[in-house]
Amino acid sequence: MDTREASRRKFIQFIASSPLFAGSTAALAADEFISPIPKPTDPLIWAPLDTTKAIKNPKEAINVFDFEVAARQNIPPSHFGYMAAGIDDEVTLRANRADFLKFQLRPRRLNDVSKIDTKVELFGRTYSSPIFLCPIGGQRAMDINVDFQGEVAPAAAAKVGNHLQILSTHASRSLKDVNAARGQPVWFQLYATSSFEITKQLVKNAEAAGTEVMAITVDRTGGRNQETLARIQKTDTRVCEDCHKDRGPRPSFAEIDTKGVNMLSPNLTWDTIRRIRDMTKMKILLKGIITPEDAKLCVQNGMDGFIVSNHGGRAEDSGRSSIDSLPEIMEAAGKKIPVLIDSGFRRGTDVLKALAMGATACGIGRPYIWGLGSFGQKGVERVLEILRTELEVDMQQCGVADLKKITPALYRRISA
């Protein structure tokens, strides 16, 4: 207890024991007397997100979190748990949100912001927004009460807003279907598996489907302990086997024999990455970079870019958020190749902070799955629309009309 607090307490005790202020009510009155300023209130106390009442249509959503409540009601508990869960104590998952508060924006005034340009160019294609859809496996399980479209619904939504989409190796829909819905090739995310023969086959198939860019995920090489999933799973009354027993392989593995193969890739090294790089004309990014050392190695090993990510807190419970790592990663990698980022992005201001640090684009994972799980394509469309609008308004307020004009002067770090 500091000395001010100690003497305040002493004074209250004195007042309370005084015959003039007998009884506890008097002591409280004394407290008010000492501190006449009302305790600060937070406006969110009066208008919190009601987690018991889901929105009925996408237009009702005020921010992206409204979709989480609706998705929670729609998606079976086991599937919702799989999506929501991180690792162990969820320290990294929480840090992914909380650490945005370590950084502030530095708004500038009197710049003409009547026209906002959020266009971004990546590997010869122009997107209307720097917000992209991260690869998320098995999306049919997440829109189960809507229309079973899986990754095709986000693709159609990404087409409406002209966003980049990355399709998971473990997607429940094929590259062919998703490209058709998006109207242009999406990026392919590669899980290499423990077999280089299978890796080669996956790369060949991606090329054959017209893929121009491939992101190799390098942060899921070991096991993981998804306790949140295990606990939520217990609340599901259905038997997993009833649905899963007839499920065939994912489309990526439709013609690949994976018997005896570790679907993770504990044997993945820089040597494997170089071999993949040398076997394809596709642009190659690594997804899951979280330290400056690995960022430097990406540049040295001729990667075309990389994605700063901790897999949305699902890889290891390191406690290190993506956003906290970004400034030192940018310092190490320079601006030689595009640096994308994901994990915890939920607000236009989150995106703006990362862009100010030097990121080229920011990915969202769970938020668009909340949209998918509540209203299918229309839900994803609205999630993207909300984030686009927030970013545009934030750019206006900060005095930057064009993404290209954003510099590190737009942010500052306030704590380590």
Ligand X SMILES: Cc1cc2nc3c(=O)[nH]c(=O)nc-3n(C[C@H](O)[C@H](O)[C@H](O)COP(=O)(O)O)c2cc1C
Residues designated as active site: 311
CA distance 353 to 345: 10
- Binders of ligand X among residues 325 to 354 (CB under 6 A) are 342-345
| The binder of ligand X chosen from 170, 274, 277, 296 (CB under 6 A) | 170
| Residue 104 exposed, middle or buried by CB count within 10 Å (0-12, 13-18, 19+) | middle
CB of 219: closest distance to ligand X in angstroms? 8
Applying the rule CB under 6 A, the residues between 209 and 238 that interact with ligand X are: 217
The CB-of-307 to ligand X minimum distance in angstroms stands at: 8
Contact 283, 304 (CB under 8 A): yes
Q: Report the residue number, 291 or 397, with the smaller CB distance to ligand X.
A: 291
Strand 339-342's sheet: what is its strand order? 131-133, 361-364, 339-342, 305-308, 283-289, 213-217, 187-190, 166-167
- Among all residues, whose Cβ is closest to ligand X? 365
Nearest approach, Cβ of 139 to ligand X (angstroms)? 8
Q: Which residues contact 29 (CB under 8 A, 6 or more apart)?
A: 21
Number of residues binding to ligand X, judged by CB under 6 A: 23
Tally of CB atoms within 10 A around 61 = 22
Binders of ligand X among residues 175 to 194 (CB under 6 A) are: 189
How far is Cα 249 from Cα 288, in angstroms, rounded to an integer?
25
User: Does the footprint of ligand X cover residue 384 (CB under 6 A)?
Assistant: no
Based on CB atoms, which residue is closest to ligand X, 113 or 354? 354
Q: How far is the CB of 96 from ligand X (least distance, A)?
A: 6
311 contacts ligand X (rule: CB under 6 A): yes
CB of 288 to ligand X, least distance (A): 7
Among residues 28 and 49, whose Cβ is nearest to ligand X?
49
Beta bridge partners of residue 190, listed in sequence order: 216
Q: Tell which one of 283, 347, 353, 366 touches ligand X (CB under 6 A).
A: 366
Phi and psi based region of residue 343 (left: phi greater than 0; alpha: psi -120 to 50; beta: remaining): left
Nearer to ligand X, 21 or 100 (CB): 100
Q: Please list every residue from 237 through 296 that binds ligand X, using CB under 6 A.
A: 287
CB of 31 vs ligand X, minimal distance in Å: 42
Cβ closer to ligand X: 170 or 277? 170
Tokens of 116: 């906002």
Q: Which of 289, 364, 383, 387 binds ligand X (CB under 6 A)?
A: 364
SS3 for 213?
strand
Determine the Cα–Cα distance for residues 368 and 377; give it in Å rounded to an integer: 10
> Which residue matches tokens 């699902």?
314
Residue (30 or 315) nearer to ligand X, CB: 315
CA-CA-CA-CA torsion sign (165, 170, 171, 176) = positive
Closer CB to ligand X, residue 190 or residue 403? 190
**Residue 360 · residue 339 · CB < 8 Å:** yes
Q: Are 351 and 130 in contact (CB under 8 A)?
A: yes
With a CB cutoff of 8 Å and minimum separation 6, the contacts of 18 are none
Considering only 74, 78, 118, 168, the residue that binds ligand X (CB under 6 A) is 168
135 scored as a contact of ligand X (CB under 6 A): yes
- Please give the structure tokens belonging to residue 181: 């819905």
User: Of these, 71, 83, 398, 400, which contacts ligand X (CB under 6 A)?
Assistant: 83
Question: Should residue 136 be labelled a site residue for ligand X when binding is judged by CB under 6 A?
Answer: yes
Minimum separation from the CB atom of position 93 to ligand X (A): 7
Q: Which stretch binds ligand X (CB under 6 A): 239-247, 359-367, 374-382, 400-408?
A: 359-367
100 versus 345: smaller Cβ distance to ligand X? 345
- Residue identified by tokens 């406006």 is 43
- Structural tokens at position 2: 């500091």
Q: Smallest distance, Å, CB 318 to ligand X?
A: 14
CA distance 164 to 156: 11
Is 141 among the residues that bind ligand X (CB under 6 A)?
no
Q: Which two tokens stand for residue 285?
A: 């990014």
Among 58, 76, 130, 137, binds ligand X (CB under 6 A): 137
Chain positions contacting ligand X, by CB under 6 A? 82-83, 96, 134-137, 168, 170, 189, 217, 287, 309, 311-312, 314, 342-345, 364-366
